[in-house]
Amino acid sequence: MIAIAAARSGTLLRFTIAFALASAAVLAQVPAHARIKKIQITAKESPAFGGYSWPGVGQYEKITGKVFGELDPKDPKNAVIVDLQLAPRNAAGKVEYSFDFYILKPMDLAKGNHKMLYEAPNRGRKTILAFNRGVGGDDPGSVSDPSLLANSFLMPQGYSIVFSGWDASAGTSSADFNTTITLPVAKNPDGSPITGPSYEYIVNVGTSYALTYPAATLDRSKATLTHRVHLNDEPEKIPASGWQYNSDGTAITLLPAGTPFKRNDIYEFSYTAKDPTVNGVGFAAVRDWNAWLRYETKDDMGNANPLAGDITRIYTEVVSQPGRFLNDFRYLGFNQAENGKQVFDGMMQWIAAGDGISMNYRWSQPGRTERNRQDHLYIEGRFPFADVATNDPITGSTDSRYAKCERTHTCPFAMEIFSANEYWVKAASLMTTDPTGKEDLPDSPFTRIYFMSSMQHGTGNGASRGACQQLLNPLDSQAVQRALFTAMDKWVTAGTPPPPSRFPKLSDGTLVKPDRASTGFPRIPGVAYTGFKTTRYLLDYGPNFYATGIPTLNPPKFAPPYQDNPANGAIYPSLVPKTDADGNDIAGLRLPEVQVPLATYTGWAVRAAPQNDDGCEGSGQYIPFPKTKADRLASGDPRLSIEEHYGNIDTYSALLHKAIDDLVRAGYLLPSDAERELSKDLLEVSTNNLLPKK
């Protein structure tokens, strides 16, 4: 329902986005394989995890360090990397880069399962903590609590676990083992700096904002800074006297000095930047690192591969941003190593939906992600959206996210798992419908799609509101993800089909428009419902984009009101899940808390003052049911009370048992997680005295 509120008249906003196209001469050359030139181990801890030993697997060790790689810009497998041809080259004509790595492996690899889990960190942070049942953090090998380690998920199975840098905007704290990458800077053929129009969307930054790329000039008349409170407000231009660059043009501050950017308000800054990094090298870095670990024995300097000869399968498990990175990794053909072999066998994509990442473009910013009121002009949600071939009615092209890997026979199996938030703040329905939003799509032979009903973008704190009007959604999908990861492993290794896809469909009426009449969301007292949904536009990339692949994003003609306005660009219709009478999503994979609810859980939320009713981005809502019928009648709540739903704790417990048992039988929950799920939910009822005994 909402649209993008972005650049207006008077605001310079032009992206120069260059795709590197291989010429016929380049394609005709024989490739020289990209390689890992040197691995530099800076620390080794044997044993890790405080010396803990897992039965049958033994102790683990931790290895950290830096990798130095190089790419041949003449190799056709690298031709898709934007600006690689303009990157500096060494004496051998190769482009150099480096990144951090972190490895956890059985000390005796013969006792492991000869499989590797790779995580591309989220903005430098490792996110494996919840998936691995509490053993994680930025230095997971430092965990030494035996009770946590005994209950971990990956190490008892003998997995090697690897992290590496790919995103230049990630944190660089060595104390936290954050993983980042050092990328080449593109230059003009004569060696002079490349300059061009760039853009920053600014919220929550204190008194200074660091620019992604340095300004090419400190002349403030050649830049524009605007401010607004609400998404649909007309931006007000801040005069040049109201802000300044720092001395080297790498940051801006408001004037007078010390003036803070207003928290959660929207500032947009358009300026001429210089020195674009070749961000697409990050794709090749992940490809070549994982292929080296899997297929090679040593680097060019003779340093040994710490996993040499051991890895038979590589799976990924990622959260959000790196999932979108891997969506494009797969789409752009990087799952084929330079030796022609497959890199990843299976991908578990959590809360990435069908989106890509703002990365393989000039002036791109991989740390950005589009949501209801943020980052709409960083290219992320571009056709193709689905894993099966569809036709784009706007451009006339036909494509799928698996088209390239199908041609090279290097497609990974994938579990595409996402929340209700991806329907409301992205356009997740385009993964499962044609681009006109009129027909359901079949499964890809390589993927299954699992919608986690009523969830927000990750797990929220049900005792906090944050910037939103309601308590945050506390639903946690990690137990389901462990079951689906296990199913993916069986799919890859034994050909065992995984549990069937679960998602809303047009054909059964569970995928609908976002207005209240269509969704059926109840009128809960004190709960605002706006139908506030991101619109997926095809922005105007300029007349030569589809002909040459070298586009310029023209200043969009955004005209208020910003609600599905065709003036903002051609629209790919996207839809949302239908709810039951309690406001919980009907379709999808319903957690026990949704099947036997004590509350309404939503994947969307709206902001509190002063940004009232704007979208609350990745957050969802937790809206408890009235406890008794009397409470319900007194408040005018249309939802049945907990008392009316269940009567007593024994009835609730029986229904909860059945919900959990059904999930286990269907393969969506592991038996080892079932008892934890049951205990967690029963504890909430008993601790809060929500129901009497029979």
Specify if 239 maps to a domain: yes
Give the phi and the psi of residue 161 in degrees, each rounded to 5: -130, 130
Going by C-alpha positions, the residue among 325, 320, 291, 319 that lies closest to residue 307 is 291
Specify if 52 maps to a domain: no
Please tell me the distance from the alpha carbon of residue 401 to that of residue 441, in angstroms, as a whole number: 14
Specify if 266 maps to a domain: yes
Specify if 477 maps to a domain: no
CB atoms within 10 A of CB 245: 19
| C-alpha pair distances (Å), 583 with each of 411, 520, 577, 578 | 38, 7, 10, 9
Rg (C-alpha) for the chain, rounded Å, is: 25
Handedness of CA 325, 331, 337, 341 (dihedral sign): positive
Q: Which two tokens stand for residue 37?
A: 């030139």
Residues facing 118 on adjacent strands: 162, 316
Report the pLDDT value the prediction gives residue 159, as an integer from 0 to 100: 98
3-state SS string over 232-258?
Answer: CCCCEEECHHHEEECCCCCEEEECCCC
The separation between the first and the last C-alpha atoms of the chain, rounded to the nearest angstrom, is 46
Please tell me the distance from the alpha carbon of residue 398 to that of residue 412, in angstroms, as a whole number: 21
Specify if 374 maps to a domain: no
Report the pLDDT value the prediction gives residue 34, as an integer from 0 to 100: 53
Please tell me the distance from the alpha carbon of residue 548 to that of residue 541, in angstroms, as a whole number: 11
The full DSSP string for 326-388 is: HHHHHHTTTTB-TTS-BS-SEEEEES-TT---TTSSTT--TT---BTTB-TTSS-S-S--SSS
Amino acid at 557: K
Q: What is the pLDDT of residues 358-402, one digit of tens each?
A: 999 888 899 999 998 888 888 899 899 999 999 999 989 999 999
Going by C-alpha positions, the residue among 455, 456, 484 that lies closest to residue 591 is 455
Please tell me the distance from the alpha carbon of residue 279 to that of residue 273, in angstroms, as a whole number: 15
For residue 98, give the H/E element and its range.
strand 95-106
Please tell me the distance from the alpha carbon of residue 285 to that of residue 96, in angstroms, as a whole number: 10
Report the pLDDT value the prediction gives residue 541, as an integer from 0 to 100: 60
Amino acid at 655: L
For the beta sheet containing 266-274, the strands, ordered from the edge strand earlier in sequence to the opposite edge, are 195-202, 266-274, 224-228, 236-238
- What is the number of domains present in the chain? 1
- pLDDT averaged per 10 residues, the chain (length 694): 36 34 34 75 97 98 97 95 95 97 98 98 94 96 97 98 93 74 96 91 92 97 94 91 97 96 93 94 98 96 97 97 97 96 98 93 91 86 96 94 98 98 96 97 98 97 96 97 98 98 98 97 97 86 50 47 66 96 98 97 96 93 98 98 96 96 98 91 88 86
**Domain residue limits at 269:** 195-274
Report the pLDDT value the prediction gives residue 27, as an integer from 0 to 100: 33
Specify if 503 maps to a domain: no
Give the phi and the psi of residue 391 in degrees, each rounded to 5: -100, 130
Q: Which two tokens stand for residue 216?
A: 């090419």
Contacts of residue 296, Cβ cutoff 8 Å, sequence gap at least 6: 36, 305, 308
| C-alpha pair distances (Å), 177 with each of 9, 75, 637 | 44, 33, 49
Tell me the angle at which helices 671-687 and 478-494 cross, rounded to the nearest 10 degrees: 170
Report the pLDDT value the prediction gives residue 562, as an integer from 0 to 100: 52
Specify if 419 maps to a domain: no
Report the pLDDT value the prediction gives residue 687, as an integer from 0 to 100: 87
| C-alpha pair distances (Å), 409 with each of 34, 117, 294, 333 | 20, 21, 18, 11
Report the pLDDT value the prediction gives residue 3, as an integer from 0 to 100: 37
Specify if 333 maps to a domain: no
Please tell me the distance from the alpha carbon of residue 113 to that of residue 115, in angstroms, as a whole number: 5
